[in-house]
Amino acid sequence: MLMENKISKEKEEEMKKIRGFEIAKGFEDKGINLPERKTKFSAGYDIEAAEDVIIPSFKKGMKPTIIKTGVKAYMQDNEYLMLVNRSSNPGKKGLIMANSVGIIDKDYYGNAENDGHIMFAFYNIKDEDIEIKKGERIGQAIFTPYLLVDNDNANAERTGGFGSTNS
């Protein structure tokens, strides 16, 4: 009976969840801060780096530097999480997002490959390497609803993590 109550309480907690952030697997004991809005009219939740990272100065042909955040996001069926650069990053640090805007789909959450771990991909357009320290704000995340077209028939299911829908 005690076990049944525990399971039903867990299910009840899950059902209450609408949208939010959690610590991704493997980062539970790393001192990760969940994203927060800084003012009551901010659209974006500030996201921090989960570890120190050096972003090298851009050279032709190089791949972007991936910055781990240690967080994942859950949301409703008709929502996605938009990842955007901090407005100060290009001018102050020379950082631009490799994909301009990141899109985190609902089904990225908890995927088997990486648990839905949110990461940012940056290029550094300055002449010198840039160091990002753990806990430094690197971007913003904005929950957004989306619409479907008439006769939408998407029914495939996600099978991977970061960049897995680029078939």
Tens digits of per-residue pLDDT, 35-88?
Answer: 999 999 999 999 999 999 999 999 999 999 999 999 999 999 999 999 999 999
Pick 136 or 4 by higher pLDDT. 136
Read off the pLDDT band of 155 (50, 70, 90): confident
Q: What is the residue extent of each domain of the chain?
A: 17-145
What is the pLDDT at residue 105?
96
CA distance 51 to 55: 12
- Tokens at residue 17, please? 């969840």
CATH topology of domain 17-145: Deoxyuridine 5'-Triphosphate Nucleotidohydrolase; Chain A (2.70.40)
What is the pLDDT at residue 16?
83
What is the pLDDT at residue 167?
47
CA distance 77 to 18: 10
Count the neighbouring beta carbons within 10 Å of the beta carbon of residue 74: 18
Average pLDDT over residues 132-158: 92
Cβ proximity of 122 and 64 under 8 Å: yes
- Tokens at residue 24, please? 């991704």
Pick 167 or 118 by higher pLDDT. 118
What is the pLDDT at residue 10?
62
Average pLDDT over residues 141-158: 89
Residue 143 DSSP code: E
- Quick: pLDDT tens for 75-131: 999 999 999 999 999 999 999 999 999 999 999 999 999 999 999 999 999 999 999
| Helix spans in 37-98 (H) | none
